[in-house]
Amino acid sequence: MKKFVAKRIYPEGYLYRGYVIERRQQDYVYWSIGETVDSLGNYREPTEKSHFYNVVWHDSTDTLRDAKYLIDTVYYKGDVRLN
């Protein structure tokens, strides 16, 4: 099985299997999961921090590890993207 790695793209954000995982903090710390889109709503592979201004957020988890697990189990089946 291929092991995927979260790539840090800015101080509070990671790119993992095409999804953005961002650390947020209000009264507690949580991790939001989303994907970048262009102005028409089409998926866009992010290459710069400026691309994260149009992120469609889907879910959140308590830890980065949980966010990666959720992407692996819910958004992918094997190596096939479900969304």
Contact at 8 Å (CB) between 75 and 52?
no
- C-alpha angle with apex 23: 15 to 13, nearest 5 degrees? 30
pLDDT, averaged across the chain: 83
Rounded distance, CA 55 to CA 23, Å? Answer: 14
Whole-prediction pTM value?
0.81
The per-residue pLDDT for 10 is 83
- C-alpha angle with apex 65: 52 to 74, nearest 5 degrees? 75
Rounded distance, CA 72 to CA 10, Å? Answer: 22
pLDDT above 60: residue 33: yes
Over range 10-36, report the average pLDDT.
Answer: 90
pLDDT above 90: residue 76: no
Select the more confidently predicted residue: 38 or 13.
13
The per-residue pLDDT for 52 is 59
Q: Tell me phi and psi for residue 70, to 5 degrees.
A: -60, -45
Contact at 8 Å (CB) between 25 and 15?
no
- Give the residues across from 31 on adjacent strands: 23, 61
